[in-house]
């Protein structure tokens, strides 16, 4: 994953955004990519990237909810950055599951 993160970091420097497409054969999910980008932004103090990565993480959870992808990203969210800097990011990581449950319950009401 380090090469993938470096590639996305260069993209970010040129475009102020990075691509979410994961290459074939890569053993990483899109949410893990966002978590890794957030950790990289924290390490090198790239404030704009912190915001972009956190927003992309949250948006991915809300638009493409995959529980297994979400669960595999949690260690990256909690272990990749110190608690003091990643409070907002951790909040983003813990909010989507309840939102996903509410959305599913509204879409398929119980009878």
- Kindly report, residue by residue over 45-81, the tens digit of the pLDDT: 999 998 899 899 888 888 888 888 888 888 888 787 7
pTM: 0.77
| pLDDT at 98 (0 to 100) | 47
CA-to-CA dists, residue 60 to 93, 110, 111, angstroms: 11, 26, 30
Dihedral of the alpha carbons of 12, 18, 23, 29, in degrees to the nearest 10: 120
């Amino acid at each position: 994953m380090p090469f993938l993160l470096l590639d996305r970091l260069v993209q970010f420097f040129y475009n102020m955004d990075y691509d979410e497409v994961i290459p074939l054969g890569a053993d990483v999910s899109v949410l893990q990519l966002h978590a890794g980008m957030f950790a990289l932004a924290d390490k090198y103090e790239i404030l704009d990237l912190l915001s972009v990565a956190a927003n992309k993480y949250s948006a991915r959870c809300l638009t493409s909810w995959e529980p297994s992808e979400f669960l595999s990203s949690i260690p990256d969210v909690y272990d990749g950055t110190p608690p003091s800097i990643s409070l907002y990011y951790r909040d983003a990581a813990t909010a989507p599951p309840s939102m996903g449950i509410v959305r599913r319950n509204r879409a398929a009401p119980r009878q």
